[in-house]
Chains A and B, each alone.
Chain A
């Protein structure tokens, strides 16, 4: 069925996605830093599905290497999924611009750099799909994580534009906005159980939404309505709230 390239493949959602795509007969490129840590995951998926799974080294922050990375892929992918994300530490970021840059560049600049290259190829081939995991945190800035949130907001806006541009080229773009997910990223945070999804169910939702060519996916679905309300709270009220 062709290769799907998963970027940020070490994340829990990415691993769950890799399993689902392979089960549905896609071959996989798993891209991440320190790719050797992914070999066991790749082997697991190969045994389970008998699909070809290749691990490829990629640092999203090393922009100059992105073109060469993409060109080195032996078979060009038919779809790409970015599961890149760095939550960072908001309080640290307020004092330390290095942390700010890391948050912005990981969540936004790096993803844009690699997706631009892939988008151009897909546009030329007039086929392919692009899925990127943004966040509900990008829907409105809150004091607890607005550096991360603003980077995700930028990513969501980028994806919206990209979708608009690639529509005529028959390339589909899906923006994923997960709420709370029980992953390594949120380890140590106290999350409300009813609003917290498991990586597997998020991955399942993403697969279905991508296959159906949905544009924006909130997962859990409840978050669509929660964010609708949060977006509509008047700013004079919102600024005094602690959400």
Chain B
């Protein structure tokens, strides 16, 4: 086992802490590491935004990136937990396979995708990442390895999918891929005028395989909630010669004053006006459609060295309109324009104890870290609670224990399982300690 003391942070570049990075080569070594440490947290590619993959002792799972088996008849891929979704896409798109569920970045590991039970633009149709997980092997605090699936060790499966790495170390997983006929997506962009219009556009296109909306967060009054709704479906033209898109890189942290109210306003204004018609259609590649931000390496550096956070919340469908209006109005009044805001209609919740999605609308907002931001987010938390919503842990860095506890009803089941397997004694992150998990 290799130990290194290092300064560590996640995608939001906030907070930065000193941790011990632990690397293992064999399962025996990993078992020893678990038995001789506490406050362990597994970490994949460090793409969760906040402090969920930060702890005193961090187990690096990303070096374990072997493809173990592929069943071409059924599209079942067995991989070690450190395999990046980007690698799966690079290898399998040319052979006519794609991920059933992918988040907005392909630079996450399979283990991380399970631990955050990530969702994508097709949540309203297929649900979270756990839906395509046939099984995974999990090393428990005892050092024993158990196979978990929706029919075997079901409780551990339900706790681990969305369990933020707090149930043990995911070693490998078998996931199902979906068959595709093209590397292109037929994309339709719908320009809406206000929140009501946005909602009816989502409803109108609720059978589209993929949908997501960029929302102009600085619009107010009668324009509040206007957006560009993008829907898409895979083409069937048989073109599969996929090559990952080359990316440009942000080489260092930009000075944080570059992102100010004016520049954000200009960006949002231009973005909304880029599209002139109500409905327009394009044929775009996989990377452009699913992973637009991956085209810019280290884009998190545009927020400067203090970092940023993404505030992602979801509200039940019944309260979404009232709740989102209040939230957007509060943000517009605060003058703290988020640089990027994304709205999405979600499908039904699953049975996993801590999975984020419920049926309704989710809003994700990127803010740079600055004084008084957290005060604003606390105010937003109150609105979210009032309307029966919740905050997404994979993005979170600051939610309070009280807010968290009121919004995840299966929390007690999760905690009971944690104590039954003595997980609290071994696996904790800064986040889990903050919210009393």
Residues of chain A whose beta carbon lies under 8 Å from any beta carbon of chain B: 40-41, 43-44, 47-49, 184, 187-188
Contacts and interface: CB of A to CB of B under 8 A. Distances in A.
B379 interface: no
Interface in B288-332: none
Nearest to B94: A50
A48 B88 CA distance: 8
A47 B67 contact: yes
Count class of interface residues, chain B: under 10
Interface in B82-130: 87, 91
A44 B2 contact: no
A43 B69 contact: yes
A49 B67 CA distance: 11
A47 B67 CA distance: 7
Contacts of B25: 184
Contact of A43 (B2, B67, B87, B91): B67
Given A47-B91, A48-B91, A188 B70 contact: no
Interface in B4-61: 25
A123 B112 CA distance: 50
Contacts of B87: 48
Given A40-B68, A47-B70, 18 more contacts: A40-B66, A41-B66, A43-B66, A43-B67, A43-B68, A44-B66, A44-B67, A44-B68, A47-B67, A47-B68, A47-B69, A48-B67, A48-B87, A48-B91, A49-B91, A184-B25, A187-B2, A188-B2
Interface of B: 2, 25, 66-70, 87, 91
- Ranked 4 nearest A-B pairs via Cβ: A47-B67, A44-B66, A44-B67, A47-B70
A184 B69 CA distance: 26
Nearest to A44: B66
18 contacts: A40-B66, A40-B68, A41-B66, A43-B66, A43-B67, A43-B69, A44-B66, A44-B68, A47-B67, A47-B68, A47-B70, A47-B91, A48-B67, A48-B87, A48-B91, A49-B91, A187-B2, A188-B2
Among A40, A44, A47, A188, chain B packs the most CB atoms within 10 A around the CB of: A47
A47 B91 CA distance: 8
A187 B70 CA distance: 33
B134 to A, nearest CB: 16
A19 B67 CA distance: 12
* A-side interface mostly: helix
Contacts of B67: 43-44, 47-48
B106 to A, nearest CB: 16
Contacts of A44: 66-68
Contacts of A49: 91
A74 to B, nearest CB: 25
A232 B132 CA distance: 60
Contacts of A187: 2
Among A41, A48, A49, chain B packs the most CB atoms within 10 A around the CB of: A48
A219 B365 CA distance: 42
A47 B25 CA distance: 22
Nearest to B77: A47
A44 B66 CA distance: 5
B30 to A, nearest CB: 16
B33 to A, nearest CB: 15
Nearest to B6: A193
A187 B23 CA distance: 11
B46 to A, nearest CB: 16
A43 B66 CA distance: 9
Nearest to A188: B2
A48 B66 CA distance: 9
B408 to A, nearest CB: 38
Nearest to B83: A44
A47 B83 CA distance: 13
A188 B4 CA distance: 9
Nearest to B78: A47
A47 B97 CA distance: 13
A70 to B, nearest CB: 29
Nearest to B23: A187
Nearest to A187: B2
Nearest to B4: A190
Contacts of B69: 43, 47
A188 B2 CA distance: 7
A43 B67 CA distance: 7
B27 to A, nearest CB: 13
Nearest to A46: B67
Contacts of B91: 47-49
A41 B63 CA distance: 13
Contacts of B70: 47
Nearest to A193: B6
A185 B366 CA distance: 42
B302 to A, nearest CB: 24
A219 B25 CA distance: 26
Nearest to A47: B67
Contacts of A47: 67-70, 91
Contacts of A48: 67, 87, 91
Nearest to A41: B66
A41 B87 CA distance: 15
A40 B66 CA distance: 8
Nearest to B67: A47
Contacts of B68: 40, 43-44, 47
A175 to B, nearest CB: 29
A48 B87 CA distance: 9
